[in-house]
Structure 1
């Protein structure tokens, strides 16, 4: 009896995969690839299988192998783009969807995914442009309308978002997700009764749909109605639901922080002296969630010398560091930290700066927020010696509680679903930022969120002096128009919940 050929083995693997027998399918594909290592269909099917098994990095290798063999198949580029999107490599995902569109320009799914990924990069104008293109191909498509509403909400256009969510609901009345987002948009406009109706409609349609998100919303509604006991019950339930699906390793974080504290010493600056990309004078605002980073970006972004980039600039910088310096391995290798290479440092700065400017098509000074850059600050400042970092700190109790009241989409925030973990993250963050401040005293300026709210003119002047930007009257006009009521709303908010939080603080 003759041995099966590669095509037979591939068919066998597909059959196993369809039946849920993933390991047997993988064995069939691997056996076939030993016989036909340059067969693109084998690499593609193996990639799809690994993706289904949530082995995304291995899946990406398979899709990359496929595209080196056959470069004009839009299905392969699309699969690779989805994998990169799931790995949170949003710009790389967009590049793949562009490959799809170069082959099939009127592919609405590719335009949709581009819009979603631009949204993840906080590039909302580009997100909306891509989503509008998708809608021009498939008008009134409820999913595309849904993501357009999400982008409008994220860019602060809640009134327009409400109209778009309503349009999606008219097309698909049982769209539980759209009802939920409609509730969130109404809540942002302080239309609490309308928001409550939308939330209840979403729950009635699908009690299991992101139930945590609904309870977060209800927590905010009852907070604004000053029923703090009911509000806390909803926040607590929301976090318990999120914690069931959360996977995080704070022990691992503590180890990385301690390794950095011990081994990333001031001498490293001298070791790579003369390195780094000096043409970039970006400004990044670092802080934990709910510390006013976006507010500060909006203020400094009023300068005619700056261009806002949201979280995308820091995201590109982080991914470039990880790509260019894989030996750091999340800072667990002592020798990798101590043996930094000046050329790597310079090229990391050059590549990240170029990528950021190409993405946003800007020549001005970049300003952005950086919620997850704290471990990378040292490498970032070596790579970009003229980078300015503003570190925003907030009262410990308020910051921890505010984080507890919000659901975050990114896997980077999986520590946020119970107060002891948030507390540990808060302490680690401030410990490492204090370390960076000692090593790079001229590159990091720390401000307190409360001082910014209570004496904004003085704090803004100090920030502008640090960033070498001129003071303009419109800064205070903007602050007074948008944040004049913030001190009473944002300072001491945890005290309304003191009896519930007493065990933790």
Structure 2
């Protein structure tokens, strides 16, 4: 295997490392200082790190601490820098600060053997016996790993995923039945969002080692993330047989029951977990989510408040309160959020959530300038760390238009399963899809479910493994949707049947059911091929209102386009372009429903929707807000109220700040 030649700066860093290894510490320090004068800012992090190590070895501890502090101001998530800070504090006999530094280091990178060694000693000195045991158990697991896999874990936690994957795959080529190696590769796959690979690896690992608790726990977590709750339920039951009192498994079971719509049972389990340990904020948060889905907003709010009372920097608790859409923050809560989000040591996720929650608090107080500033800060942080590239979506749209032609549907449009059961609601998030779902789910012949991942999962399998950045650079096309014209014609009916079988667990007894995954608009051609009698409703909303509503919403996952005004505008334009294509090649297959029309004349649009779905009119669809059902989307409280018009023009309060969006949407 040919090695990539080192760049000049990499060669110089290697030279400094060699000086440290050969105890030429003063030479190393001098070389670091010289390089800092002539290299770009982003190389300074590694130079400060090496300088601090060399300074510590020369006993220049004050200078070492200064160097490492400068580094951590540039990047506080540098795990080894936090570890080095711990060593310096130990040398200075600052044991309390040393413990905090080592704890931060292993939080960022749990594979740092040195930090665990020191923590065991520090916990022992403090009489923290339970912590000693946990640290010792973790260290023992690390020591059992072959050196190659230990290197993989370090690379993985440092964010060097592709390098970690390369080493892990190479290791597994020579150790094909190494279950820990398979688990590590699966973990990398989950980070890279190559979920099919991860699922296959973990299922294979469990065939080899059915009693491997870690593999089964990973598999359980992946199944929950993929929305495969029935399969997840089987895994968690197996784990609970092994460890009946394991709190994390009890909570995982509650989350699985939530996914299956068994909210009462989930609430009971969350309450049992809290009774066992009432000091864990996450338990209250998840209880709050279950209560909110059930419609008990008052109890949900109490649970969220308890979560932030236990941990005042818990961004998710504050964001969950904001995300009820009806909660109003007090002066004290706003002051607390502003204080917490200013903390430079705060975890990224908490900081993002606090920015969005603060934005909602100021918007409710009609302080639109401060609200936008907070939303903007949250979006910038989320966008910077998502790695999202809007060109990928635009390429997917171009490929759907290129390959999903009239000819494709003439030749293959009637090969799928003829079941009329599914009604798909597609579009952009925050476009009124939850309202349309609530209207339809209020009909006696329709079950509401949730945003199901099955179509996206099928599209992902058809696409296969690919590096999208490389594809963009090389103008390569994906296998899918091109392969829709090539695959065995018998597959379409099989895929349709698979969809019906896999989604049955989310249904009750009604003949029809709803899948409201908005991103399915990208795959309407695939839906037509596998389920030709399905109904598709496009939930559409005025572009500025829709895009800004998405911009101020922090999504759980999967909507990374929404964290930048230009990206969200380009996404909306790509969506319009693709929907126009579907109307051309699949006339009358999709019904477009404008949110503003529903608000203006509810009964007219309800009758139009029911006619399209072949359903008789029922008054319950007009009185949708009286329907009792589980709703998990951000709009859950809004659709439990009658139609109101005030939100349709809410974006205008923020119009002075939305120039980049208006420009992309060609709005004057």
Q: CA deviation at 1:31?
A: 5.2
Q: 1:280 to 1:133 in 2, by over 3 A?
A: farther
Please, which moves more after superposition, 191-200 or 104-113?
191-200
Q: 1:113 aligns with which of 245, 252, 257?
A: 252
Asked if the contact 1:392–1:447 (Cα under 8 Å) also holds between the matched residues in 2, the reply is: yes
How far off is 1:338 after superposition?
2.4
Match of 1:457 in 2: 603
Deviations 1:406-464 (A, max 9, x none): 11121x21111111111110011111122222233333111111000011110111001
SS of alignment partner, residue 559 of structure 2: helix
Q: Is 1:438 paired with 2:438?
A: no
- Counterpart CA distance in 1 for 2:618 and 2:172 is 67
| SS of aligned partner of 2:593 | strand
| Residue 526 (structure 2) aligned to one of 357, 372, 379 | 379
User: Is the Cα contact below 8 Å between 1:50 and 1:59 reproduced in 2?
Assistant: yes
Query: Which residue is equivalent to 2:202?
Result: 63
Match of 1:491 among 641, 645, 648: 648
In the alignment, does 2:479 pair up with 1:322?
Answer: no
How many angstroms apart in 2 are the aligned matches of 1:25 and 1:335?
Answer: 28
CA deviation profile, 1:121-143 (whole Å, cap 9, x unmatched): 88756754654564576566442
8 A Cα contact 2:168 2:181, kept in partner: no
Matched, 1:225 2:365: yes
Compared with structure 1, are the counterparts of its residues 97 and 321 closer, same or farther at alpha carbon in structure 2 (3 Å cutoff)?
A: farther
Using a 3 Å threshold, how does the CA distance of structure 1 residues 110 and 161 change in structure 2: closer, same or farther?
same
Q: What is the rounded CA distance, in whole Å, between the counterparts of 1:80 and 1:30 in structure 2?
A: 23
| Equivalent residue, structure 2, for 1:12 | 147
Structure 2 SS opposite 1:367: strand
8 A Cα contact 1:161 1:185, kept in partner: no
Q: 1:428 aligns with which of 567, 574, 578?
A: 574
Is residue 2:227 matched to residue 1:80? no
Determine whether 1:365 maps to 2:512: yes
Cα separation, 2, equivalents of 1:431 and 1:181: 34
Confirm or deny: 8 A CA contact 1:286 1:389 kept in the other structure: yes
1:186 touches 1:192 (CA, 8 Å); kept in 2?
no
2:502 to 345, 355, 371: 355
Q: Tell me whether 146-155 or 9-18 shows the greater mean CA deviation.
A: 9-18
Query: Structure 1: how far apart are the matches of 2:418 and 2:187?
Result: 42
Contact 1:219 1:232 in 2 (8 A): yes
TM-score with structure 2 setting the length: 0.65
Q: Is the 8 A contact 2:152 2:165 kept in 1?
A: yes
**1:474 maps to 2:620:** yes
Aligned to 1:196: 334
Which stretch of the first structure deviates more once superposed, 240-249 or 48-57? 48-57
* Residue number in structure 2 paired with 1:152: 291
Change (3 A) 1:405 1:207: same
- Structure 2: gaps spanning 5 or more residues: 1-142, 158-162, 469-476, 627-638, 663-668
SS in 1 for 2:519: coil
**Distance in 2 between the 1:504 and 1:21 partners?**
36
**Contact 2:261 / 2:506 at 8 angstroms: preserved in 1?**
no
Q: Which residue of 2 aligns with 1:5?
A: none
Give, in whole Å, the separation in 2 of the partners of 1:341 and 1:251: 31
Q: Give the equivalent residue in structure 2 for 1:292.
A: 432
| Higher-Rg member (1/2) | 2
Of the candidates 398, 401, 418, which is equivalent to residue 278 of structure 1? 418
- CA drift of 1:372 comes to 0.9
By how many angstroms is 1:296 displaced?
Answer: 1.3
RMSD: 3.7
Q: 2:564 aligns with which of 375, 400, 418?
A: 418
Using the alignment, how far apart are the partners of 1:297 and 1:435 within structure 2?
Answer: 24
Q: 1:311 and 2:468 equivalent?
A: no
TM-score, with length taken from structure 1:
0.83
Aligned to 1:3: none
Secondary structure of the structure 2 residue equivalent to 1:283: strand
Task: Using the TM superposition, give the Cα deviation of residue 470 of structure 1 relative to its aligned residue in structure 2, in angstroms.
Answer: 2.0
* CA–CA separation in structure 1 for the residues paired with 2:231 and 2:460: 14
Following the alignment from structure 1 to structure 2, what is the Cα–Cα distance between the partners of residues 201 and 225? 19
Question: SS at the partner of 1:240?
Answer: helix
Deviates more, 1:243-252 or 1:131-140: 131-140
* 1:406 is the counterpart of 2:553: yes
